Chains A and B, each alone.
Chain A
Amino acid sequence: MTQLNAIMPGGGISRRSLHIFILADCSGSMKIDGRIQALNYAIASITPQLINWEKEQEQAQIFIRAVAFADNASWHIQSPEPISTFNWPPLSHVEKGLTSMGEAIRLVADALSPEKFEPRALRPVLLLITDGKPTDVDQFEIGIKELFANPVGKASIRLAIAIGQGANFSFLNRFINDADIPVMVAENADQIVVKLTAATLAISKMSSIGSDRKEVAEQVIMPEANELGVLDDDTII
């Protein structure tokens, strides 16, 4: 830590923010094989990893937000929660609930709009976890359009975890919109933790790669110990 204590002009300084948005499927099928419980457990178990990473990299303050979607989508955690004090409030599946994935993407796209998203934040991370496909396909189309029309949404790192064989890769690939980054597949509830851990490592791998999505992809495919580095090395548009 610096020992500098000069009186500064302005309202104070702080590290930049890294916002992680979790888009979590709570449709009826998430009750199969205890998927929703596994999802809750997985998110709770990656929290300490993110806390440690925040301490180690000393560059960014990590904040979590979450959207839950079933018959419709709503904020599960609307205000950015600092990872250092974060406790995951467990989600429940909605009995016979649909998969309003499009509506969820639209909520996040709106939160990333220039009027709402802090300009100095690092590129946000969007993590979509689902066992199905959108039942609101029209909203999905609008949501994807809104997300990529938004400069922050376009710049975001997008990852997707498909649970089981019911997830539709074509929709998830359109959400990721990067041929280098594959959908992570959790064959069963136990693998949700494994894949979410891989996703966390991929996020932390951003530390050593700046804006290179390919490195994120490699981390998704083959997780390895992350190195510390520069989170946001500027490059040209």
Chain B
Amino acid sequence: MSWVFSMMTQSSESTMEQQWYIETACVRGMFHDRNSLPLQDAILSFGDLYSKSGPLVLSVADGHGDIIHFRSASGSQMATRVALEVFQNHLADIKALEAKDLDLSAIEQFVRKNVVEEVVSKWKQHVMADLEANPFEDSEIEAMQTRPAINFEANPTIAYGTTLLSACIVGNLAIMIQIGDGDIVVLHSDKTVITPIPRDPFLVGGRTTSLCQKNPQKDFHAAVIDLRVRPIALILLASDGFGNSQVEPNWHHDVATDIATFSKNYGIEWVSQNLPLWAAQCASNDGSGDDTTLGLVLSNSIFDYIEEQT
């Protein structure tokens, strides 16, 4: 699925119309298929809910596959929807902060205190509303009983457990938030590749931080980039089904630069057509076999990528 957004972005050298493209793909993992598990990843971009112009938001969520998270397919969809709504609610505030020329750490603080807090509370509200409308069924209660140590009564949101990764471009800012596994990769126009959200070293062996945990705010990461200082050519959001398929441990650089090269050489449409195939390969038994979701935010500056390089 693809969307095109036009925005005026103030670069360090000149004011130019910047066009952003959003490309998405979300594929059910082979092992979910084999075990009759639903697709538990979700992806949503701003245009799905609102107009196709102006600021943009892209969110990816990966519902946990363990038996105790039996409603995580719903949980991940709620997470992506809530992230879009919350960013939408705060766009004016963020623009106002940017107009005040506050430093990036102050904006990041705002995001943590407002966007993250609101995402957490609204996701929980959505979960509780869903639970009220659809109480746990007998089969789900049986699943809960497999882990007697877990107190579902105290925290029924465990059933909906999910990660969340979001990227928002507003004004001259790129804002990213994340809880749990998965990757956010940024390719700057100067060809440097960064992972603005650090990988939590304790996210190993199928363990992840989650929206359903106690006090999820403390494990949310946030990053803010000033596009006037560090223009961005590409932002990649990926669920762990993608990263867990990559042979190279430090795959981020090669994947980002290859996508930039493909975009330049074959066009955005080609990337759009191939994105679901890349996700499908990772979701197959050639890769991680897990649900795999890829979301790309591409700037039209990506067309200059190779020309500048050679």
A residues near B (Cβ < 8 Å) are 1-2, 4, 6-16, 58-59, 114, 118-120, 122-124, 151-152, 155-156, 210-212, 228-237
Contact = CB atoms under 8 A, between A and B. Distances in A.
Given A13-B286, A120-B249, A230-B65, A4 B206 contact: no
B146 A212 contact: yes
A77 B92 CA distance: 60
Nearest to A12: B247
Nearest to B34: A228
Contacts of A229: 31, 34-35
Contacts of B66: 210-211, 233-235
A6 B281 CA distance: 8
A4 B286 CA distance: 10
B287 A210 contact: no
Contacts of A16: 244-245, 288
Nearest to B158: A236
Shortest Cβ-Cβ A-B pairs, 7 listed = A155-B205, A123-B205, A9-B258, A6-B277, A233-B65, A235-B66, A2-B284
A151 B201 contact: yes
Contact of A4 (B244, B248, B281): B281
A118 B280 CA distance: 23
17 contacts: A4-B286, A6-B278, A7-B274, A9-B255, A14-B247, A59-B31, A119-B204, A120-B244, A120-B288, A155-B205, A155-B207, A229-B34, A230-B34, A231-B31, A235-B66, A235-B208, A236-B213
A24 to B, nearest CB: 24
A10 B246 contact: yes
A2 B280 contact: yes
Contact of B207 (A7, A8, A228, A235): A235
Contacts of A236: 64, 158, 161, 207-210, 212-213
Contact of B259 (A9, A228, A233): A9
A151 B204 contact: yes
Secondary structure of the B contact surface, majority rule: loop
Interface string B254-289: 111011001000000000001001101110111111
B68 interface: yes
Nearest to A3: B284
Given A2-B286, A11-B248, A15-B287, 18 more contacts: A1-B286, A9-B254, A11-B246, A11-B254, A12-B248, A15-B288, A15-B289, A120-B243, A122-B206, A151-B201, A210-B67, A228-B34, A229-B34, A233-B67, A233-B206, A234-B181, A236-B213, A237-B207
Contacts of B181: 234
B251 A59 contact: no
Interface of B: 30-32, 34-35, 37, 62, 64-69, 146-147, 158, 161, 181, 199, 201-210, 212-213, 240, 243-249, 251, 254-256, 258-259, 262, 274, 277-278, 280-282, 284-290
A72 to B, nearest CB: 29
Contacts of B34: 228-230
A8 B258 CA distance: 8
Contacts of B284: 1-2, 4
Nearest to A58: B285
A230 B207 contact: no
Nearest to B254: A10
B202 A237 contact: yes
A151 B202 contact: yes
A6 B274 contact: yes
Contacts of B209: 236-237
B248 to A, nearest CB: 4
Interface centre among B32, B65, B66, by most A CB within 10 Å?
B66
Nearest to A231: B31
Contacts of A4: 277, 280-281, 284, 286
A229 B31 CA distance: 7
Nearest to A157: B205
Nearest to A2: B284
A220 to B, nearest CB: 18
Nearest to B29: A230
A59 B69 CA distance: 21
Interface centre among A13, A119, A234, by most B CB within 10 Å?
A234
Given A11-B247, A13-B245, A15-B286, A233 B274 contact: no
Given A15-B289, A59-B285, A120-B243, A234 B64 contact: yes
Contacts of A156: 205
Contacts of B31: 59, 229-231
A122 B206 CA distance: 7
